[in-house]
Amino acid sequence: MKKTNVVKIGNKVIGGGNPIMVQSMLKLPPTDHKAIIDEINELEMLGCDIIRGTIPNMEAAKVIPKIVKNTNIPFVADIHFDYKVAIEAIKNGVHKVRINPGNIGGKERVREVVKCLKDYDIPVRIGVNSGSLEKDLLEKYGHPTPEALVESAYRSISYFNEFGYDNIVLSIKSSDVVTTIDANRLFREKYSYPLHLGVTEAGAELGGIVRSSIGLGSLLKDGIGDTIRVSLTGDSRDEVIVGREILISLGLLDEGVRVVSCPTCGRCKTDTLSIVKEIKEKTRHIKEPITVAVMGCAVNGPGEAKEADMGVACGDGNAVFFEKGEKVKSIKSEEIASFILERIEERISK
């Protein structure tokens, strides 16, 4: 598939075959800059590459310099309705703005935003959303079809192209997974602008994770997508964790501790779930690629544990620990998590 355009966002580069970036969005009020700075730095530690925050007014725009100065990852300003806020956000140091040209007041106001984008040499993300599709397109297509969403995207792109601006990232989102997939595939057939992927209003917890995983995973497997966000009703940390898991599962990200574990059955005599949870929770900060296997019995356990960088095959009250395919020692069940964590720390400290 043809590579997408290269776009620089702060200290990150997307498109053109560059690594796919994980994004999230701040859930805190934009004026609470101290809490926002803490949240961004924590999300970066978990593997967030780019962060977006809503900037609804001039007061919020004034906080941007403090946020940018005290964080490392690119900050994207989410702007709606007021083009003057977009201009102020650009002047105050954001690394990209996300706008919908249809709701900031027409072409002349888009022209003003474009002029400022050019002056500060930063990109724009055009956000096309099924919930805010233009009325004439709804009348033409009957509802937010993939074709309607792509036509809306083309219309928005043309606004910027008309003023000689092409430093553009697109997102085309629907709360319907299939519509999101089909719209992004259709867009990718026609245009080479980088795509930010997401299923909007995906929901909370398991349902939201499943919908986002199917939508994003289907597109990424086809080579479509340059950045992703798992939109969840809840903690932004979960968005980053799930987004990274999607990339790791598809072989698009080779870093972090990956824990392989069996689903357990009546043969299992060990609480493998608590072991897996402890290992994952305490290794989220680690970037080195390490595969750990936690297997509940001797049926598949030894084989799987040998395939991993390290792992255990559990028995009744004890477990056999393997490393690099070799049996190392037998350990007590209650020592499994702490022992594996120690070996991981030893490995990354070498």
Q: State the binding site.
A: 262, 265, 297, 304
The β-bridge relationship of strands 310-314 and 290-295 is parallel
Integer Cα distance of 209 and 28 in angstroms: 21
Dig out the tokens for 336 from the structure. 């499994």
The β-bridge relationship of strands 168-173 and 196-197 is unpaired
C-alpha distances (whole Å) from 29 to each of 59, 63, 154, 215 are 11, 11, 32, 29
- Which of 234, 195, 228 lies closest to 214, judged by CA? 228
The β-bridge relationship of strands 7-9 and 290-295 is unpaired
Integer Cα distance of 170 and 182 in angstroms: 15
The three-point CA angle 203-144-78 to 5° equals 55
Integer Cα distance of 85 and 71 in angstroms: 22
Integer Cα distance of 333 and 316 in angstroms: 8
Integer Cα distance of 347 and 327 in angstroms: 17
Residue 69 φ/ψ, nearest 5 degrees: -65, -30
Q: Residue positions in the annotated binding site for [4Fe-4S] cluster?
A: 262, 265, 297, 304
Dig out the tokens for 201 from the structure. 């209003």
Which of helix, strand or coil describes residue 16? coil
User: Cβ-count burial of 13 within 10 angstroms (0-12 exposed, 13-18 middle, 19+ buried)?
Assistant: middle
